[in-house]
Structure 1
Amino acid sequence: MSDGKPPSSQTHQRSFLERISYFLTGEPQDLEDLLEILRESQEKHLLDSDALNMMEGVMQVSQMRVRDIMIPRSQMVVVPKAAELESIMPLVVEFAHSRFPVIQEDRSKVVGILLGKDLLAHVLADKSLKVENIMRPASVVPESKRLNVLLKEFRTERNHMAIVVDEYGNAAGLVTIEDILEQIVGKIEDEHDEDEIQEYIYKRNDQEFIVNALTPIADFNEYFHADLEDDDCDTVGGLIVQRLEHFPKRGEKLEMDQFCFEVMRADNRRVHMLKLKLK
């Protein structure tokens, strides 16, 4: 008959000894321990909340993969390989991105990247040039690549965008260095982000407008002499989400009264910008 202790007792004892060891050494044993120490430091005002959020973001990035943050293929703003430079200028002006994936026949076949600075350098000299004449090679990464590894590659290769491919080699989406950095520091706004437009409503012509999703419904009603309901939400973007009953993707449309709304930009948290056409 064995006089040893039951396994459960031994496990409990080891766990207890590990805890004693932790308190004696003060060293974290795993990621959760480290996070707990950082959070306690913030509670003791040794770290401010912004520093804590960034530290947590850094550790989160090391655990995440490209598929977790990539922009899906259906939401990529692309340009055709065979298009003339002059023909794509309206799209480039509308979205104001610095880089555009270049496709062959469809979005699953990305054959290069068009840089905005290359376009500006050539379109004034020769508008008949095609996108394929000035596009650059596309950097390709698998969906499973860890974000911290990709960030290091972006830095060493001085690259800012990569095309994400699935197991069959088809484009599944794209990821940028900004997407990764936002996991650490939060949303990065720049001078081209539509949210920075001072006017809530921008008139393109008599029938078409660009509407910031944060436009108060009361202001929208006053501008268009409309009577949209605002009992359960305060902004036009909130009203769109309420009517659709889900967070919409770019290109989704909704008709209300004499208005036809189309989502121009949105993420998984809120709508950012809307295109409005009057019926």
Structure 2
Amino acid sequence: CNQLARRNRAKGTHALGRRQRTAQAVLRLLRAERAGKPGQQVDDMAALVDGAGDEPAFAPEESSMIERVLSVGAHDVRSIMVPRGDMTWLDVADTPEVVVRKFATGHSRLPLCAGDPANVLGVLHFKDVLPLLQNPGPIDLVELAREPRYVMETMPVLKVLDELRASRDHMLIVVDEHGVCEGLVTPMDVLTAVAGDLPEHLEDNAESLRLSDGSWLLDGRLAVDEAARLLEAPALADDYPDATLAGCLLRAGGRIPETGEAISWRDWRFEVTRRDGLRIDQVRASLVLDAVQQ
């Protein structure tokens, strides 16, 4: 019995030591990633987490969490951001009724744009707008907007965490090298990356299905150049600057279409088959008859 007790205590001490070594290795990697230095300990940490044939020091869910934390360090903000075409945003010309409807989608803060989501002027909080919504008349949204905080689309996710801590709005506007908005990121997006599966790139994550009549069911998040490739219509990728099919359809239609409504774009008819709030979730793309006969 004494030998068994000593053996169990030794196993517990060994497992605890491996947990401590893994935690220290993770912290070293995170510090290296924040400093812009490539991490060299990933394989070693994977071996520590797996146990290398020993009795596991981590429960399966703990191992999965550690692996996701490590994988986050290898990605930039584009892998977790809400792309521009999927953003819910306010326009400087929106009426109070439209403002209320957009905030009713479940957001407490929204980017304020000047006619186009590529041009973000600021961030509006619902609590700042609410008192004025109770009075009749127009609202000066620009005056109420807070200064946005911008990050480059190539910024590593771990550095984005520091920026989010420094942001009073808990929202970062992701821009390209020209200062054009490509999307936004919030603490919830980072949490999803760590607590769940890290989203793949849009074109890998979005679904597409060819139907028997020749039409296509396409995810609104599908990259527009990928949609153009599937439809064998390369000109579609040149019309609008948006990254997603949904964003381009919003421009082509000039407004948010209802479910069942169709938008004509070049030689194609795009019927909205499903919406998620204000976001175009799925469309059915059909080549119009006149174009087929030509």
Counterpart CA distance in 2 for 1:183 and 1:113 is 24
Determine the structure 1 residue equivalent to 2:47.
Answer: 36
Q: 8 Å contact 2:112–2:121 — kept in the other structure?
A: yes
Determine the structure 2 residue equivalent to 1:62.
Answer: 73
Decide which of 182, 205, 208 is 2:192's aligned counterpart. Answer: 182
Which digits, 9 at most, give the CA deviation of each residue in 1:61-96, with x for residues without a partner?
222111122211111111112323333212221x11
Rate the CA distance shift 1:57–1:158 in 2: closer, same or farther, 3 A.
Answer: farther
Determine the structure 2 residue equivalent to 1:264.
Answer: 276
Does residue 169 (structure 1) correspond to residue 148 (structure 2)? The answer is no
For structure 1, the 5+ residue unaligned runs are 1-25, 188-238, 275-279
Rate the CA distance shift 1:148–1:240 in 2: closer, same or farther, 3 A.
Answer: closer
Which digits, 9 at most, give the CA deviation of each residue in 1:31-62, with x for residues without a partner?
12211211228983421222222212221222
SS of alignment partner, residue 51 of structure 2: helix
Counterpart CA distance in 2 for 1:123 and 1:65 is 38
Does residue 71 (structure 1) correspond to residue 82 (structure 2)? The answer is yes
| 1:171-210 correspondence to structure 2 within 5 Å | 171-186=181-196
Determine the structure 2 residue equivalent to 1:140.
Answer: 150
For structure 2, the 5+ residue unaligned runs are 1-20, 26-39, 198-206, 222-245, 250-258, 262-270, 284-294
Counterpart CA distance in 2 for 1:124 and 1:43 is 65
TM-score by length of 2: 0.55
Rate the CA distance shift 1:240–1:63 in 2: closer, same or farther, 3 A.
Answer: closer
Q: 8 Å contact 2:217–2:282 — kept in the other structure?
A: no
| 1:122-133 correspondence to structure 2 within 5 Å | 122-125=132-135, 127-133=137-143
Counterpart CA distance in 2 for 1:32 and 1:246 is 38
Does residue 152 (structure 1) correspond to residue 162 (structure 2)? The answer is yes
% of aligned pairs identical? 26
Rate the CA distance shift 1:90–1:57 in 2: closer, same or farther, 3 A.
Answer: same
Counterpart CA distance in 1 for 2:68 and 2:193 is 6
Rate the CA distance shift 1:263–1:169 in 2: closer, same or farther, 3 A.
Answer: same
Count of residues in Structure 1 that have an aligned counterpart in Structure 2:
193
What letter matches 2:276 in structure 1? M
Determine the structure 2 residue equivalent to 1:103.
Answer: 113
Q: 8 Å contact 1:85–1:123 — kept in the other structure?
A: yes
Counterpart CA distance in 2 for 1:42 and 1:155 is 40
Rate the CA distance shift 1:185–1:41 in 2: closer, same or farther, 3 A.
Answer: farther
What letter matches 1:167 in structure 2? E
For residue 246 of structure 1, report the CA deviation from its aligned partner.
4.7
Q: 8 Å contact 1:53–1:184 — kept in the other structure?
A: no
SS of alignment partner, residue 74 of structure 1: helix
SS of alignment partner, residue 59 of structure 1: helix
What letter matches 1:79 in structure 2? L
For residue 156 of structure 1, report the CA deviation from its aligned partner.
3.6
Q: 8 Å contact 2:149–2:172 — kept in the other structure?
A: yes
What letter matches 2:140 in structure 1? K
SS of alignment partner, residue 129 of structure 2: helix
